[in-house]
Structure 1
């Protein structure tokens, strides 16, 4: 296939994928977040992904939920965690573990309210082919 034709086909397929992707109105994507994938393996229909996630000072994960279970450990900094009622459901310091329930019934946000980066080691266990997290709108809290 000609190089220009492959490029055109790739653009068309990308447009189709974007067009078919479910839209989330007013979703609150993270800001000041970076992640490095350490491990990604599918076994028995479950995808196991280990990521090192860094939240810059003032950063947040954005409001989201997970299709599968999530466990993590704070390596550096202090993670402030809130649920969809806007209440704090935990403040996590270095060495502390955090577990998050799965599904749209557990919308939450992680925030770095401190002056140094928050570094997390996070293990996701999701059904193979599912997203690790789904961004959702702010549930009405005065913060993002």
Structure 2
């Protein structure tokens, strides 16, 4: 196995076990903030035989995860290298976007997050019950599901 393959596999493993609940309101620090209180389980995954209509050349990994954010939990500021589609199963998710606008998603609603570093965001559970999400990621083959990012200037210091 090449070192590039191993790196991609390690990166995917790290992201799938800890980074993947990318969504809510974080610290007002100007630096990247770690997530806390977030767990995820891969429900299904596969690689497309051809290119899906995402901003990627080549094959696309499709990963479906169940994500839980505990009360008070946060994803930390991050972005996704591919698009994702999320459905809120229970609880209320509060997301702060790169322009510091806030979006609130409740049980039974869904949202789409675009790909790329121009779409940083943070997700928080400000409620008293866990937030449960079903998330489908469409990422370039071998890419991580999310990447840490610094908080935007509008988030304060």
After TM superposition, the score normalised by the length of structure 1 is 0.78
Write the distance in 2 (CA, Å) between the matches of 1:142 and 1:53.
28
Secondary structure of residue in 1 paired with 2:134: strand
Q: CA RMSD in A?
A: 2.3
Write the distance in 2 (CA, Å) between the matches of 1:70 and 1:28.
21
Task: Report the count of equivalent residues.
Answer: 122
Equivalent of residue 71 in structure 2, options 44, 50, 57: 57
1:34 aligns with 2:39: yes
Instruction: Provide structure 1 residue ranges, at least 5 long, that are not aligned to the other structure.
Output: 1-12, 19-24
**1:41-78: CA deviation from partner (whole Å, max 9, x where unpaired):** 11231100000000000111110010101001000100
1:86 aligns with 2:100: yes
Aligned to 2:85: 71
Aligned to 2:145: 132
Aligned-residue offset at 1:142: 5.0
Aligned-residue offset at 1:85: 2.1
1:95 aligns with 2:101: no
1:109 aligns with 2:122: yes
Write the distance in 1 (CA, Å) between the matches of 2:151 and 2:71.
20
The structure 1 segments of at least 4 consecutive aligned residues displaced by more than 6 Å after TM superposition are: none
After TM superposition, the score normalised by the length of structure 2 is 0.72
**1:60-115: CA deviation from partner (whole Å, max 9, x where unpaired):** 11100101010010001000111122221x21111101110110010011110001
Write the distance in 2 (CA, Å) between the matches of 1:37 and 1:96.
21
Larger Rg: 1
Write the distance in 1 (CA, Å) between the matches of 2:48 and 2:135.
18
Write the distance in 2 (CA, Å) between the matches of 1:130 and 1:27.
20
Write the distance in 1 (CA, Å) between the matches of 2:60 and 2:105.
27
Write the distance in 2 (CA, Å) between the matches of 1:26 and 1:106.
16
Aligned to 1:118: 131
